[in-house]
Amino acid sequence: MEHFDCVVIGGGMVGAASALTLAQLGLQVALVEQYQAKNYSAEQEIDLRVSAISLASQNLLNQVAAWQQIKAWRVCPYKRLGVWEHESAYTEFNADDIEQTHLGHIVENRLIQLALWQQIHAMENIKTFCPDSLVSLTQDNDKVTLALTHCSITAKLVVGADGAQSKVRQMTAIGMTGWDYQQSAMLINIETSQHQQDITWQQFFPTGPVAFLPLSGESTLGGYASLVWYHQRDEITRLASLSNVQLEQAVLKHFPKKLGAIKVLGKGAFPLTRRHANTYQHKRVLLLGDAAHTINPMAGQGVNLGFKDVVALQQVIAEAIGNGESWHDEAVLARYEKKRRKENLLMMSTMDALYVGFSHPSPVIKAARNLALLAVNKVPFLNSTIKNKALAYACGL
Ligand SMILES: Cc1cc2nc3c(=O)[nH]c(=O)nc-3n(C[C@H](O)[C@H](O)[C@H](O)COP(=O)(O)OP(=O)(O)OC[C@H]3O[C@@H](n4cnc5c(N)ncnc54)[C@H](O)[C@@H]3O)c2cc1C
């Protein structure tokens, strides 16, 4: 049976980044992923699944030498972030305010994954098992034994990065708390006539926000963008059943005028669920990314939190190796959860507070939240402290 220092289950964005950062420490790593990713070509349509990648996540992708490739394929940097409910309380955040050239990039998830996998194939100390899948997992005192579909392997540490429905989480009987938001998000790729490619914006409605995310490239109409439409699940199911032309009319009716003329290219609906694993550790097994936490995507923080988990785990193990400790001791591994749990919880709770606050129908609460946005934009003291701190936090700085 082959033995590894670390086995990472799940080669999505978080698992692939974790395999690379663990390999950077000189550890022998195995990466198990059930699906083989499709190669990139410039003719491929822009994928529906895109993420707003923070400055902190960009740093990580740079550190594992994947960012240059992602950037060479296609990314869209944005410099401004607009948020409002009532037009008069429009608030804009700008990269200049925190002395940065941009606030983040909109990137297709699959391109991030693909660029990470290119680096993985270049590392001698990472062995990939793909397509392969986790079948069972057993732990004894000094190792974890994993049965995969095609073979069995052992490890000192197992990283569960196998997404929201994590089998690793289920096999270690780690429970979770969570709830269903009773909402879905519809992702719509469009061609757009209005040139506003340096901004991402979001308007709040009692039924849920609508958002505009710029995408790279030039189309016959002008540019490309991704729209996110949050609403009750039934309404999103109805919208998903419309033809592209009918959906275009529905978008124009519901979205703010600043969207301009559009052409719908593709659409897909995703249910929104909050989950938080009761613990991120079971002996020598750790959970990272969506396997540990899923968050309301309203502020685009899900994978950014997952990448922070990756950085934290690398730091914990690097420090232990540096101190001459046995890096895979359960007590050492426990430091990972200590670094991450509070911050993940804070971000999840902040998103929920915003979500609940902005969907509350009371006119008093509506007036209060618009006044708060107005104050943050117009009162100089609040503008330079709260606003810039919130912006730096959202950028992961
Ligand atoms: C509508 C929407 C919009 C979002 N927008 C943003 C955004 O703008 N910014 C942001 O930061 N986040 C965003 N997110 C969240 C982000 O998409 C997730 O946090 C991110 O994809 C999680 O990555 P992951 O690698 O942890 O999990 P996943 O992407 O789910 O990857 C898990 C991997 O594990 C593999 N796997 C699963 N089970 C097994 C098994 N048994 N054996 C082997 N392999 C297995 C899967 O094939 C997959 O490749 C959004 C989410 C939604 C729903």
Residue 362's pLDDT band, with cuts at 50, 70 and 90, is low
* pLDDT of 364 above 70: no
Task: Show the DSSP H helices in the chain as ranges.
Answer: 13-24, 55-63, 67-73, 109-122, 167-171, 233-240, 244-254, 302-322, 330-359, 363-378, 380-382, 388-394
Kindly state the average pLDDT of the residues 362-373: 63
pLDDT of residue 360: 65
Kindly state the average pLDDT of the residues 121-147: 97
267 membership: H or E segment, kind and range: strand 262-277
pLDDT of residue 46: 95
Domains of the chain plus CATH, in order, are 2-77+104-178+274-358 (3.50.50.60), 181-272 (3.30.9.10)
CB 184, CB 233: distance < 8 Å: yes
pLDDT of residue 45: 93
Average pLDDT, the chain: 92
Q: How far is the CA of 261 from the centre of ligand 1 (A)?
A: 32
Q: Which of 32, 316, 63, 39 is nearest to 150 (CA)?
A: 32
Q: Whose CA is nearest to atom 2 of ligand 1?
A: 297
Kindly state the average pLDDT of the residues 340-344: 96
Residue 307's pLDDT band, with cuts at 50, 70 and 90, is very high
Closest ligand 1 atom number to CA of residue 162: 34
* pLDDT of 335 above 80: yes
CB 127, CB 30: distance < 8 Å: yes
pLDDT of residue 20: 98
Mutational pocket test of ligand 1: of 201, 231, 303, the residue with most ligand atoms within 8 Å of the beta carbon: 303
Neighbours of 84 (CB within 10 A): 19
Three-class SS state of 87: helix
Per mean pLDDT, which range of 189-193, 219-223, 318-322 is the poorest? Answer: 219-223
Per mean pLDDT, which range of 134-138, 181-185, 384-388 is the poorest? Answer: 384-388
Cα 314 to Cα 266: distance, rounded to the nearest angstrom = 38
pLDDT of residue 382: 56
pLDDT of residue 370: 61
Higher pLDDT, 344 or 359: 344
pLDDT of residue 328: 97
pLDDT of residue 3: 98
Residue 376's pLDDT band, with cuts at 50, 70 and 90, is low
* Structure tokens, 150: 């095609």
Closest ligand 1 atom number to CA of residue 167: 41
Kindly state the average pLDDT of the residues 14-33: 98
Mutational pocket test of ligand 1: of 135, 162, 273, the residue with most ligand atoms within 8 Å of the beta carbon: 162
Under DSSP, the state recorded for 347 is: H
pLDDT of residue 359: 67
Residues 91-111: tens digit of each pLDDT: 899 999 889 999 999 999 999
Say yes or no: CB of residue 163 within 6 Å of ligand 1. Answer: yes
Residues 266-289: tens digit of each pLDDT: 999 999 999 999 999 999 999 999
* Structure tokens, 83: 């948020």
Cα 61 to Cα 320: distance, rounded to the nearest angstrom = 23
Residue 182's contacts (CB-CB under 8 Å, 6 or more residues apart) are 232, 233
Closest ligand 1 atom number to CA of residue 35: 47
Write the Ramachandran bin of 26: left for phi over 0, alpha for psi from -120 to 50, otherwise beta. Answer: left
Closest ligand 1 atom number to CA of residue 304: 11
Mutational pocket test of ligand 1: of 171, 290, 293, 347, the residue with most ligand atoms within 8 Å of the beta carbon: 290
Kindly state the average pLDDT of the residues 226-245: 96
Kindly state the average pLDDT of the residues 327-352: 94
* pLDDT of 154 above 90: yes
Residue 358's pLDDT band, with cuts at 50, 70 and 90, is low
Backbone angles phi and psi of 123, in degrees to 5: -95, 125
Residue 378's pLDDT band, with cuts at 50, 70 and 90, is low
* pLDDT of 361 above 80: no
Residues 197-214: tens digit of each pLDDT: 999 999 999 899 999 999
